Amino acid sequence: QVQLVQSGAEVKKPGASVKVSCKASGYTFTNYPIHWVRQAPGQRLEWMGFISAGRGDTKYSQRFQGRVTITRDTSASTAYMELTSLRSDDTTVYYCARLGPTGWFDPWGQGTLVTVSS
Amino acid sequence: AIQLTQSPSSLSASVGDRVTITCRASQGISSALAWYQQKPGKAPKLLIYDASSLESGVPSRFSGSGSGTDFTLTISSLQPEDFATYYCQQFSTYPITFGQGTRLEIK
């Protein structure tokens, strides 16, 4: 079945960087974009950006422009989201999601908790 | 950015009830709206896309309607597994945005 599996939880210090992976299976990876969304506890979902898994084109939310980089490795069917200059308010769960055949997010990865603490 | 405002923010209902959640966009988005269900500790799950299309495998008690700025998600007869948080999402223009969520609780 179509599945996205993300890397495990991370603990980082303020100012550091984190790179979260999202491995796809059950479909042709290069056919569908991968988006990244984050969700702080009790907060609404927040879109960060996406990558066209085939061509590698990217688009980022202005809110994260300059701090986020989304890449992919087609040979590994894996997308990556790197966030730099981490702050305490970056402590949240990060999700990847495929933009599926309907043109909407399906499925989602299981989420990766990133904790930023000194 | 387009803002999405859901109402109510929380709702108590009983099994078998009919429930309606609304989502209002700050500007017209045609039918570029989806609804997701999220349970605690889990990722969101797509229920409705293009405002009114039912995602494959989603029970028919879920339905969506609306276009432009006003949208609704209706659950015709609540089941125990439906108690969760529901989010709307627009994909009319970037940045993609979500509503603040509606928490559906058991009465």
In order along chain B (107 residues), what is the average pLDDT of each group of 10 residues? 97 96 98 97 96 97 98 97 96 96 94
Predicted pLDDT of residue B38:
96
Which residue of chain B is at minimal alpha-carbon distance from A38? Answer: B43
pLDDT confidence band for A65 (50 / 70 / 90): confident
Minimal CA–CA distance to A80: which of A18, A38, A31?
A: A18
Minimal CA–CA distance to A109: which of A7, A27, A10, A1?
A: A7
Which residue of chain A is at minimal alpha-carbon distance from B5? Answer: A44
Residue A50 has which token pair?
């996406």
Predicted pLDDT of residue A41:
87
Residue A84 has which token pair?
């730099």
Place of tokens 């797509």: B46
Q: Are strands A112-116 and A10-12 parallel, antiparallel or unpaired?
A: parallel
Determine phi and psi for A21, rounding to 5 degrees. Answer: -105, 160
Judging contacts by C-beta atoms under 8 Å, the chain B residues touching residue A63 are 95
Centroid of chain to Cα A73: 14
Q: Cis omega (within 30 of 0) on the bond before B95?
A: yes
Q: Select the residue from B7, B46, B54, B56 to test the A interface by mutation, using most A Cβ atoms within 10 A.
A: B46
Give the closest-approach CA distance of B21 to chain A in angstroms.
16
Give the closest-approach CA distance of A13 to chain B in angstroms.
24
Q: Cis omega (within 30 of 0) on the bond before A101?
A: no
Predicted pLDDT of residue A85:
97
